[in-house]
């Protein structure tokens, strides 16, 4: 059994707990939290919950620590810190800061002899992997990434900070016309506005100025100003009924050409459609936790990403079983 610890228990942490239950070679040993452990309710109440400070007392009990904090301030500190003691996996997703994060985790791992697997999830993660492989296969071509339809937590938060807004959810929606053009091999050059629209569902406070809220959303720089945005005011009841979930998804497409005069078009598309973004991300992370464990057992050390992991390491099956059943 691979013994797992979860460090941070929000939506992602809960998703990891659930994913571990679907993998019979794994066992959740403990959850670590910054909150009062008494107040953290797990799916399985028999699993121990400790304060984060107690994590390093359990170096002999945990094979892989899965970090479920945020990329802004948690992971840049937590992943290098915990990599001094454990094999770690995180879902660090601030693309621009990946090189710096990699260097910090790599240093810690090389001192501890552990594996640190960073930026695991779907973007970065499975989408990155598909971008890489499609680029290596279709050398001459263009990349396209569409997100959604799905909930953007950051954009939903931005709306909630507007005066008069009680609750809000924002969906990022790919523009079907743009998708169709890419799938058709037309290699369009697409502006931000042409790729995605933004749909907002807002519960306003009583007596709030709806026109003012709508205008504030639509003109918000960085978040909405560059998009075609629709704002729907709905009741709290409808919000809870139809917008409680955290669906997401997206599509990575490589459109390329081969042939003596590049006359043959090829499209590689990877598409995911998810009822629960955190549960899917957690499922990816848990598969890679197996890889981290197995690689470290074989003697591998240092920071790695999905690019560095041979796919067979994700599976419980032996090489012979995989070749027989899945190749």
Q: Which residues bind a copy of itself (CB under 8 A)?
A: 15, 18-19, 22-23, 43, 95, 98-99, 102, 119, 124, 126, 128-133, 135-140, 183, 258-260, 263-276, 279-280, 282-284, 287, 290, 305-312, 314-315, 319-320, 322-324, 326-327
Nearest residue (CB) to a copy of itself, 14 versus 198? 14
Shortest Cβ distance from residue 320 to a copy of itself (Å)?
Answer: 7
Nearest residue (CB) to a copy of itself, 52 versus 133? 133
Shortest Cβ distance from residue 95 to a copy of itself (Å)?
Answer: 7
Nearest residue (CB) to a copy of itself, 120 versus 204? 120
Nearest residue (CB) to a copy of itself, 19 versus 108? 19
CA distance 91 to 13: 11
Q: Name the helix (H) or strand (E) containing 317.
A: none
Query: Environment class of residue 285 by beta-carbon count within 10 Å: exposed (0-12), middle (13-18) or buried (19+)?
Result: buried
Nearest residue (CB) to a copy of itself, 131 versus 198? 131
CA distance 223 to 135: 30
Tell me which residue has tokens 């697997």.
117
Shortest Cβ distance from residue 24 to a copy of itself (Å)?
Answer: 9
Shortest Cβ distance from residue 40 to a copy of itself (Å)?
Answer: 16
- Is residue 43 within 8 A of residue 15, CB to CB? The reply is no
Shortest Cβ distance from residue 220 to a copy of itself (Å)?
Answer: 28
Shortest Cβ distance from residue 282 to a copy of itself (Å)?
Answer: 8
Q: Name the helix (H) or strand (E) containing 272.
A: strand 264-274
Nearest residue (CB) to a copy of itself, 18 versus 165? 18
In order, the DSSP letters of 124-174 are: TBHHHHHHHHHHHHSSSEEEEEEE-SEE-HHHHHHHHTSTTEEEEEEEEEE
> Is the sign of the CA dihedral 151, 152, 156, 157 positive or negative?
positive
CA distance 50 to 59: 14
Tell me which residue has tokens 């990022």.
172
Q: Which two tokens stand for residue 136?
A: 């290596």
- Is residue 286 within 8 A of residue 20, CB to CB? The reply is yes
Shortest Cβ distance from residue 175 to a copy of itself (Å)?
Answer: 19
Shortest Cβ distance from residue 14 to a copy of itself (Å)?
Answer: 9
In order, the DSSP letters of 54-102 are: GGGGGTTT-SEEEE-S-TTTTHHHHHHHHTTTSEEE-----GGGHHHHH
Shortest Cβ distance from residue 298 to a copy of itself (Å)?
Answer: 13
Nearest residue (CB) to a copy of itself, 208 versus 267? 267
Strand partners, 89: 66, 117
Nearest residue (CB) to a copy of itself, 60 versus 260? 260
Nearest residue (CB) to a copy of itself, 197 versus 277? 277
Q: Which two tokens stand for residue 273?
A: 């459609």
Number of Cβ within a 10 Å radius of residue 192: 9
């Amino acid at each position: 059994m691979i013994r797992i610890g979860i460090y941070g228990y929000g939506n992602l942490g809960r998703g990891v707990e659930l994913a571990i239950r679907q993998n019979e070679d794994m066992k959740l040993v403990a959850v670590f939290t910054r909150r009062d452990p008494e107040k953290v309710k797990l799916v399985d109440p028999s699993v121990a919950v400790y304060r984060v400070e107690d994590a390093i007392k359990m170096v002999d009990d945990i094979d892989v620590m899965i970090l479920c904090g945020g990329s802004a301030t948690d992971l840049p500190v937590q992943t290098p810190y915990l990599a001094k003691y454990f094999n770690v996996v995180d879902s660090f997703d601030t693309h621009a800061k990946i090189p710096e994060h990699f260097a910090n985790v790599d240093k810690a791992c090389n001192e501890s002899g552990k594996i640190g697997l960073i930026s695991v999830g779907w973007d970065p993660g499975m989408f990155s992997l598909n971008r890489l492989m499609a680029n290596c296969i279709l050398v001459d071509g263009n990349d396209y990434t569409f997100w959604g339809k799905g909930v953007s937590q950051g954009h939903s938060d931005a709306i909630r900070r507007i005066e008069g807004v009680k609750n809000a959810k924002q969906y990022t929606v790919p523009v079907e016309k743009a998708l169709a053009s890419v799938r058709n091999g037309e290699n369009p050059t697409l502006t931000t506005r042409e790729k995605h629209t933004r749909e907002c569902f807002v519960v306003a406070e009583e007596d709030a100025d709806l026109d003012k809220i709508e205008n504030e959303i639509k003109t918000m720089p960085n978040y909405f100003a560059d998009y075609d945005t629709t704002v729907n005011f709905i009741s709290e009841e409808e919000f809870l009924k139809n917008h409680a979930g955290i669906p997401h998804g997206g599509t990575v497409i490589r459109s390329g050409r081969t042939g003596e005069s590049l006359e043959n078009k090829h499209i590689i598309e990877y598409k995911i459609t998810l009822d629960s973004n955190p549960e899917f991300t957690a499922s990816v992370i848990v598969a890679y936790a197996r890889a981290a464990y197995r690689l470290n057992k074989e003697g591998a050390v240092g920071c790695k990403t999905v690019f560095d992991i041979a796919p067979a390491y994700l599976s419980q099956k032996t090489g012979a079983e995989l070749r027989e059943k899945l190749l």
